[in-house]
């Protein structure tokens, strides 16, 4: 029997980082964590307090702060060597998706050997990993809940995905205070990424009734609270609601995956260095139009969540137009995403990547058969 919904990550929403991390380590009998984080976080008061608390309680730790956006394999492999040499019994990941993904990869290589590149081709080689505590500082990637990591091949500049339930976090610790200092542009990009996780999972061929209900709630939370979090970054209620939505969206990634909008973002992001959350947001309107003929009810439901009104007599094409208009209003006016033209890259240039997008790992979840022709059309309308 196929299980259509499962979730093994223990999720904790708290406000005191130091106290909660200390409790988790003590409860699990752990006393030698390897801490993977963005370098700038070493200067954040809450993180400094956490490190001081570990020292005061006799817990030996080592920090690895070499993480960069779109982490290359080298960063992960170097971190794994340091973790193994240190003899860590656990991993604490703090930061955005790059830090959380890197920590998963570091845990894999330090525990099972080899290089992270080995697991791109052989995910079955992932076995017994150390306890992983993931603490996001953004509200978008959902990496704290997902069974995936993305690593960049420096030689080809391609983003490779590794999928395995073995790499799931043991704990996802949500501290909304850690997102207070997140700049407006990152708040927008990460929030729209979470919305797209839900929308794409909702439209995926892997979707299920239970996952769909959660995806609908994630989109509702994004629509109702992301604009407020952007407008007032100090509003803890807004930050917490968006953070919970992003966490649930990470869970949906495990259940339903994503579709071609994320494929576009992965291929184009690695080549042109688009911000990932912005890229999926630029991709989604054309994707909604592509799938509306086969999923008109779901596209219409997305429109309703976004405040669109329908008479009940619309064709699939009209449903798509109405939903896309509502999404663009949400994305551009309510949230404030900057226009794609700011990147200075033409859609004609993007169309050169159509074949790679068709063959990207997650593209196969799209409920429409993808061809070079219809993906070229998507790229022509990217933005």
Q: How far is 74 from 69, CA to CA, in rounded Å? A: 13
3-class SS of residue 66: coil
- The answer on pLDDT for 3 being more than 90 is no
Q: Which residue has the higher pLDDT, 358 or 160?
A: 358
Give the pLDDT band (50/70/90) at residue 1: low
pLDDT digits (tens, 9 = 90+) for 81-91: 999 999 999 99
pLDDT digits (tens, 9 = 90+) for 260-295: 999 999 999 989 999 999 999 999 999 999 999 999
Q: Which residue has the higher pLDDT, 320 or 128?
A: 320
- The answer on pLDDT for 69 being more than 90 is no
Q: String of b and e for 136-175 (b: at least 16 CB within 10 Å)?
A: bbbbbbbbbbbbbbbbbeeeeebbbbbbbebbbbbbbbbb
- Architecture of the structural domain at 10-178: 3-Layer(aba) Sandwich (3.40)
Average pLDDT value for residue range 172-186: 94
- The answer on pLDDT for 158 being more than 90 is no
Give the pLDDT band (50/70/90) at residue 248: very high
Cβ atoms of 145 and 195 closer than 8 Å: no
Cβ atoms of 174 and 190 closer than 8 Å: no
* Extents of the domains making up the chain: 10-178, 184-381
pLDDT digits (tens, 9 = 90+) for 12-66: 999 999 999 999 999 999 999 999 998 999 999 999 999 999 999 999 999 999 9
Cβ atoms of 285 and 320 closer than 8 Å: no
Q: How far is 293 from 334, CA to CA, in rounded Å? A: 28
- The answer on pLDDT for 161 being more than 90 is no
Q: How far is 225 from 341, CA to CA, in rounded Å? A: 27
The superfamily in CATH containing domain 184-381 is: Dehydroquinate synthase-like - alpha domain (1.20.1090.10)
pLDDT at 217: 98
């Amino acid at each position: 029997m196929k299980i259509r919904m499962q979730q093994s990550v223990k999720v904790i929403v708290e406000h005191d980082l130091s106290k909660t991390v200390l409790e988790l380590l003590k409860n699990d009998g752990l006393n030698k964590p390897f801490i993977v984080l963005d370098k700038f976080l070493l200067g954040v008061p809450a993180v400094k307090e956490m490190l001081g608390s570990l020292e005061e309680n006799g817990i030996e730790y080592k920090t690895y702060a070499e993480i960069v956006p779109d982490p290359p394999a080298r960063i992960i492999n170097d971190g794994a060597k340091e973790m193994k040499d240190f003899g860590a019994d656990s991993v604490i990941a703090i930061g955005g998706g790059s830090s959380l993904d890197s920590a998963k990869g570091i845990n894999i290589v330090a525990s099972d050997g080899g290089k992270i590149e080995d697991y791109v081709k052989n995910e079955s080689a992932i076995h017994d990993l150390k306890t992983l505590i993931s603490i996001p500082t953004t509200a978008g990637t959902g990496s704290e809940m997902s069974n995936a990591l993305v690593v960049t091949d420096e030689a080809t500049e391609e983003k490779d995905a590794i999928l395995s339930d073995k790499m799931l976090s043991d704990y996802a610790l949500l501290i909304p205070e850690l997102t207070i200092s997140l700049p407006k542009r990152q708040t927008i990009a990460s929030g729209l990424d979470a919305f797209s996780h839900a929308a794409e999972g909702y439209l995926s061929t892997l979707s299920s009734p239970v996952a769909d209900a959660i995806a609908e709630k994630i989109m509702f939370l994004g629509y109702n609270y992301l604009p407020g979090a952007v407008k007032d970054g100090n509003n803890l209620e807004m930050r917490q609601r968006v953070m919970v939505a992003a966490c649930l969206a990470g869970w949906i990634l495990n259940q339903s995956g994503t579709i071609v909008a994320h494929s576009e973002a992965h291929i184009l992001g690695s080549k042109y260095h688009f911000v990932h959350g912005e890229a999926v947001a630029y991709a989604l309107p054309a994707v909604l139009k592509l799938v509306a003929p086969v999923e008109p009810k779901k596209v219409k439901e997305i429109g309703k969540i976004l405040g669109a009104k329908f008479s009940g007599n619309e064709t699939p094409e009209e449903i798509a137009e109405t939903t896309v208009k509502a999404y663009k209003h949400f994305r551009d006016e309510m949230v404030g995403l900057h226009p794609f033209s700011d990147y200075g890259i033409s859609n004609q240039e993007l169309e050169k990547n159509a074949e790679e997008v068709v063959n990207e790992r997650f593209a196969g979840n799209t409920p429409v058969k993808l061809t070079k022709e219809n993906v070229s059309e998507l790229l022509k309308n990217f933005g």
